[in-house]
Amino acid sequence: MATVEVVTTRPPRTRAVPLLAEPDLGHYPGFRSFLSTTFGLDEDPLGAPGLLAVDGRVYELVFVGRSGRPFPSGVEVNALVEGLEPLDEQAADTDLWAILRWLVAGVGGEWTDDALSTTGRIYRIPAAGERP
């Protein structure tokens, strides 16, 4: 199982490759709260993106604000790829699924890993079949 951890240093000489965008966290207030607490967004909403490491690969979470909505109103997940190297799409998909599992575990409540896995199997997401 992939290990997801919050990190504070962006690797040098990397570029951001977009993987996932959730434009409206308003549907999921638990997710907004978890992200705000985890990345200190209440204290510093204009700070650097959040960084997560998954088995040595680093991803940034860019928090999006919209007028009249609580911050963050959305989040974008980017893979940080070294130099001009190609994105390892299979690793990125697997890591993104690990990040979603980390997020669901952090939010808890009605959000469960089993429900996430079932959703992934319905949509035939290959990484959803990889159980911890």
pLDDT digits (tens, 9 = 90+) for 111-128: 778 877 777 777 677 777
First to last CA, the chain: 5
CA-based nearest residue to 20, from 52, 44, 46, 67 = 52
Evaluate if pTM is beyond 0.95: no
Tens digits of residue pLDDT in 60-71: 999 999 999 989
Place of tokens 């919209």: 66
Q: What is the pLDDT of residue 119?
A: 74
- Name the average pLDDT for the chain: 89
Kind plus residue range of the DSSP H or E element containing 7: strand 4-7
* Pairwise CA distance, residues 99 & 37, whole Å: 16
Unique residue bearing structure tokens 């996430």: 116
* Structure confidence at residue 120 (pLDDT): 73
The pLDDT of residue 127 is 75
